[in-house]
Amino acid sequence: MRLPNAWVVAGVAACLGVAVGGGIAMLEAASRPWRAGDFSPSGARPSGPSPIVEVPETQFAFGTVGVDAKGSHEFLIRNMGDAPLELTRGATSCTCTVSDFEQAEGGSNHAKVVPPGGTTKLKVEWRGKGDGGPFRQQASVSTNDPRRPQIVFVVEGTVIPISRAVPKTITLSKLSAGTSEQATVRVFTFGREPPMVDSLTLDNEKTAQFYSLASAPLEPTEFAAETGATGGFEISVDIRPGLPIGPLRQTIKAVFRLPEEVTIEIPVEGSVSGDLALVGQAWDSSRESLMLGTVSSRTGSQTNLFLTAKGPHRAEVKPVVRNVVPDFLEVVVGEGRPVGNGNVIRIPLSITIPPGSGTANHICSPQAPAGRIVLDTGHPDSPTLTIPVCVTIIP
Amino acid sequence: MNRLGFSPPVVAACALLWCSMGRLGTAETPASAESTAVAAQSPSVASPATVTNTPDRGAGVDDSLVKTFRDRNGGLFEGWSKPQAVVVVTGELDGYIEPCGCTGKENQKGGLSRRRNFLRAMTAADWPLVTVDLGGQVKRFGRQSEIKFQSIADGLRTMGYAAVGFGPGDLRLPAEELVAAVAPVGDRPTPFVSANVGLLGLDANITPRFRIVEAGGMRFGIVSVLGDAEAKQVRNDAIEIVPAAQGIEAAAAELKKADCAHQILLSWASPEETKSLAARFPQFDIVATAGGADEPPAELPTLPGGARLVELGHKGMFAVAIAFFPDSQKPFRSQRVPLDARWGEAEDMISLLATYQSQLESLGLTGLGLAAVRHPTGRRFAGSASCADCHQHAFDVWKDTPHATALATLEEQKPRRDGDPECLSCHVVGWAPQRYEPFEGGFAGMKATPHLAHQGCENCHGPAAAHAAVERGDVRASVTERDRLRGELALSIDTPEGKQKATNNCLECHDLDNSPQFDFDTYWPQVEHPTPPSEAEKAK
């Protein structure tokens, strides 16, 4: 018998060892709480003289800063090694943060050499921008310390705006034309004094008649949880029935003093729709058609839809199939169930093309017009609902 | 011989042996229908000791570009060995299906195309992958957001996401659009998951309550919730939302049965609310939250219960990769991944964007439900060329600025963006930039209103049709009326109030989203156009 090559034997043995060892490690790791692991970088210990970078802190929490106000912090960097420490300014997360080394006479603020035992400072500046909220920026420094080739310094805190509306926008998705609606917006303010509301107006005159606006100051307990807030007011919006069906576009403009005058705009958006809607994967809302595609008469097909009903007459909606085209379509109406708070009723519709049906072409073209499902709904304002069906049934 | 000193046969034998062990260690998917277990993008397990090709760039991206962005935004996966499995968390896309802004796309982060290439690079490196998304694909309401949500959902399916949550912006969309967008395609289940949000009611079961996936021989349980404070802001009667804790409790019992190695909570809530949920449900060891700062931290903070908190930043600019290793000393590592130009562009996502843009164009402004609104002044627009009749110096300055070719920059994009209202609003005359809708008499397309193309004079000075008509003599007006019309358009930065007014005008487009470097004093000299004495004298 021919003996195996010694290299192969050694290699396979080595592999076996590595694999088994690795497998055991894997099993150990799988059974050990992974959260116990640490993130600390580990590098090779250099031989000979070497810089050792030490930073007492890499993270600075500045607390709060106002919009457009500036802040800065100096991070200390020490060289605890026995060779010069070379530092190079690296990336900053965006221009909100500027990092500079402590200026040395004739030196660059982008690079710095720190002698053994020496120190330098990295200055990080920031400016509060945006609408307020959590803020985090960072600046990185590259070093020639092989154990720590990069240090990331982080400044974080909260930007305090002049005012903040919650929510920023009132969105009313598919508002029923026949029902009233209420909404509230809380405006938190961060000025020296509590706000004095001068006016609340609406910019879209065409639909302004359907809205009523009112404001009331917030109690201290109501703005206590908002970091830095010194006052606030609540805007109540009442919307009366009768808005025209279609997109809903309105803007509430609030003018108030802190004592300086501030204007905020709160968009009201959404849509006003009829009380009945169809929902389902095969329902194409842009074409307002049930798209069943090409179906083999041999296998047939089955599709589920939901009819949703809202508005004051939703409980009266009890669909009954009046007729269908093609006539072999089978439509089963399920039991209505309330959704969430009960303002919408969900009624399942099961639409089946039974196996063995005949062929038909209702692809929704001038030559092959849509099929249809006609339902008597029970809704007094929309007693009949016609669902166009686009389908081709092939042998 | 390779650099480790082993001959190829040894390496091959090693790989085969390890590979077979990895396969032996792979658990079977449970047959529970509720758990909707799916296979993640998981190739076989290879040796954890093997240093693999690092997923630090998109395919074909050259070293110099990678170096540029490594210097700018940091290196990626440096010193990593091949992990047993990687969980990639994304979220808070906020409608930024692609980066947008005045500083050039190459200088910005984010977009589905780069995300796609990042995930591809992970797969190409043979890293077993579980990809999850916190949700929050869109922030706005309307037909454009509906189409965008559908496009993003298609993109996430293409990228093989295992679980996708819902953000409040998503849930403001009409239920019929959401149901159609999240529906399963073919035999693949929907990637959308929520333990406490039910489209058309939780009992309609349109999306599952949780998901279990496997990668690298490990089983991951994933639960997604919308926080209670955010739920109060969703006013959509066709959607049922129960308290987040109630939803988690129901899902947790099922997850426990599945004996997952790791449990992931995707919590669309403020960091405070998320931390409270994490404390109440300590079984989750990865907890992703919404609502943090614009940038996620470089390292994952550890919560008191031991879970790692994942922040994602905003606008989909970052992904966070959390990798597991069979190393008892260092069982996991994380990497914040800036989605910058080093990832290049992915053809299938560019194609998806092209389809999205073509849908917008074919619908047009009317089809998108954008009716023109009255300008606050009630006035109409004349077009920048009209201004040149008298303000030649200002016009000459303007035509040499990027403002004068603003619309062309949209036309030159691939795919072109000149049918996208969210882009148009800052690239033409007569739109409300922050509301993405036209004013009456504003730009309505190159055929109807070519004179209102680009970012012109009237976007700062105000609509000037009446003023121009009087100055041309088309309309007779008294000197008082003429001067009043002139005065309405005057804009001076010589006073603090005037400068503030001008700055606010600029900020309508040069906002933090699109022009984060904007500073009036730096930018103004580039477009400054004082009226020369000769023109001022002539006007008298």
**Residues B43-64 pLDDT 10s:** 333 333 344 488 999 999 999 9
Which chain A positions have a beta carbon within 8 Å of B71's beta carbon? 90-91
User: Whose CA is closest to A385, among A306, A319, A297?
Assistant: A319
Return the DSSP state at A158.
E
**Residue B170 CB partners (closer than 8 Å, separation 6+):** B135, B136, B137, B138, B149, B178
The residues of chain B scoring below 70 in pLDDT are: 1-52, 102-103, 539-540
Q: How far is A390 from chain B (nearest CA, A)?
A: 17
List the single best residue of A141, A158, A174 to mutate versus B (max B Cβ within 10 A): A174
Q: Does A4 touch chain B (CB under 8 A)?
A: no
Q: Does B295 touch chain A (CB under 8 A)?
A: yes
CA quadruple B63, B64, B69, B75: dihedral sign: positive
Q: Which of residues 311-330 of A touch B (CB under 8 A)?
A: none
Q: What is the pLDDT of residue A99?
A: 62
Q: For strand A384-394 and strand A289-296, is the pairing parallel, antiparallel, or unpaired? A: parallel
Q: Which of B74, B235, B437 sits opposite A171 (nearest CB)?
A: B235
Which chain B positions have a beta carbon within 8 Å of A136's beta carbon? 292-297
A309 φ/ψ angles, rounded to the nearest 5 degrees: -125, 135
Q: Give the pLDDT band (50/70/90) at residue A33.
A: very low
Q: Does A22 touch chain B (CB under 8 A)?
A: yes
> Helix (H, G, I), strand (E, B), or coil: what is residue B211?
strand
ipTM beyond 0.85? no
The reply to whether residue B334 touches residue A39, judged by beta carbons under 8 angstroms, is yes
The reply to whether residue A35 touches residue B142, judged by beta carbons under 8 angstroms, is no
User: Whose CA is closest to A92, among A147, A41, A155?
Assistant: A155
Q: What is the pLDDT of residue A42?
A: 40
Q: Which of B10, B292, B332 sits opposite A34 (nearest CB)?
A: B332
Which chain B positions have a beta carbon within 8 Å of A270's beta carbon? 141, 172
Q: Which of A8, A136, A281 sits opposite B295 (nearest CB)?
A: A136
Q: How far is A263 from chain B (nearest CA, A)?
A: 12
Interval A298-303 mean pLDDT: 94
Q: Which of residues 448-507 of B touch A (CB under 8 A)?
A: none
Q: Does A133 touch chain B (CB under 8 A)?
A: yes
Q: Does B378 touch chain A (CB under 8 A)?
A: no
Q: What is the pLDDT of residue B184?
A: 85
Strands (E) in A144-245, as ranges, are 150-160, 163-166, 170-176, 181-189, 196-202, 211-217, 231-239
The reply to whether residue B295 touches residue A93, judged by beta carbons under 8 angstroms, is yes
The reply to whether residue A174 touches residue B325, judged by beta carbons under 8 angstroms, is no
Q: How far is B389 from chain A (nearest CA, A)?
A: 34
CA quadruple B181, B184, B188, B190: dihedral sign: positive
Q: Which of B17, B240, B294 sits opposite A340 (nearest CB)?
A: B240
Q: Does B142 touch chain A (CB under 8 A)?
A: yes
Q: Does B284 touch chain A (CB under 8 A)?
A: no
Over the stretch A38-75, which tens digit does the pLDDT of each residue have? Answer: 333 444 455 688 999 999 999 999 888 888 778 888 89
Q: Do residues A13 and B6 touch, judged by C-beta distance below 8 A?
A: no
Q: Which of A28, A137, A279 sits opposite B328 (nearest CB)?
A: A28
The residue behind tokens 């929704």 is: A364
Between A34 and B235, the more confident residue is B235
Q: What is the pLDDT of residue B50?
A: 40
The reply to whether residue A343 touches residue B306, judged by beta carbons under 8 angstroms, is no
Q: Does B173 touch chain A (CB under 8 A)?
A: yes
Taking the CA atoms of residue B169, residue B175, residue B179 and residue B182 in that order, the dihedral angle to the nearest 10 degrees is 0
The reply to whether residue B72 touches residue A16, judged by beta carbons under 8 angstroms, is no
- What are chain A's domains? 53-160 (2.60.40.10), 163-273 (2.60.40.10), 276-394 (2.60.40)
The reply to whether residue B233 touches residue A279, judged by beta carbons under 8 angstroms, is no
Q: Does B7 touch chain A (CB under 8 A)?
A: yes
Return the DSSP state at B285.
S
Cβ-in-10-Å burial (0-12, 13-18, 19+) of A132 comes to buried
Q: What is the pLDDT of residue B138?
A: 97
Q: What is the pLDDT of residue A129?
A: 73
**Beta pairing partners, A233:** A187, A217
Cβ neighbours, 10 Å, residue A293: 11
Q: Which of residues 49-78 of B touch A (CB under 8 A)?
A: 49, 71-75
CA angle A44, B331, B219 (to 5 degrees): 150
A158 φ/ψ angles, rounded to the nearest 5 degrees: -130, 130
Question: What is the model's pTM?
Answer: 0.83
For chain B, the straight-line distance linking the first and the last C-alpha, in angstroms and rounded, comes to 88
Interval A209-234 mean pLDDT: 94
**Closest Cα in chain A to B307:** A35
The reply to whether residue A173 touches residue B174, judged by beta carbons under 8 angstroms, is yes
Q: What is the pLDDT of residue B46?
A: 35
Distance in angstroms (rounded) separating the CA atoms of residues B517 and B103 = 8
Q: What is the pLDDT of residue B21?
A: 33
Q: Which of A37, A140, A310 sits opposite B330 (nearest CB)?
A: A37
User: Whose CA is closest to A202, among A228, A234, A235?
Assistant: A235
User: Whose CA is closest to B227, among B284, B295, B175, B276?
Assistant: B276
**What length is written for chain B?**
540
**Closest Cα in chain A to B196:** A340
Residue pairs spanning A and B at CB distance below 8 A: 230
Which chain B positions have a beta carbon within 8 Å of A10's beta carbon? 10
Question: Distances from the Cα of A22 to the Cαs of A33, A310, B83, B329, in angstroms?
Answer: 18, 61, 12, 13
Distance in angstroms (rounded) separating the CA atoms of residues B485 and A269 = 33
- Tell me the average pLDDT of chain A: 84
- What are chain B's domains? 84-352 (3.60.21.10), 371-539 (1.10.1130)
Six-digit token pair at B467? 């003023």
Distance in angstroms (rounded) separating the CA atoms of residues B143 and B141 = 7
Q: Does B179 touch chain A (CB under 8 A)?
A: yes
Q: Which of B74, B84, B184 sits opposite A91 (nearest CB)?
A: B74
Q: How far is A37 from chain B (nearest CA, A)?
A: 5
Over the stretch A303-356, which tens digit does the pLDDT of each residue have? Answer: 999 999 999 999 999 999 999 999 999 999 999 999 998 999 999 999 999 999
Over the stretch B124-149, which tens digit does the pLDDT of each residue have? Answer: 999 999 999 999 999 999 999 999 99
Which chain A positions have a beta carbon within 8 Å of B421's beta carbon? none
Which chain B positions have a beta carbon within 8 Å of A152's beta carbon? 74, 298
The reply to whether residue A339 touches residue B517, judged by beta carbons under 8 angstroms, is no
Q: What is the pLDDT of residue B7?
A: 39
CA quadruple A145, A147, A150, A151: dihedral sign: negative
* C-alpha R_g of chain B: 27
Q: Does A93 touch chain B (CB under 8 A)?
A: yes
Q: Do residues B55 and B75 touch, judged by C-beta distance below 8 A?
A: no
A263-267, A294-298, B413-417, range with the lowest pLDDT: B413-417
The reply to whether residue A15 touches residue B297, judged by beta carbons under 8 angstroms, is no
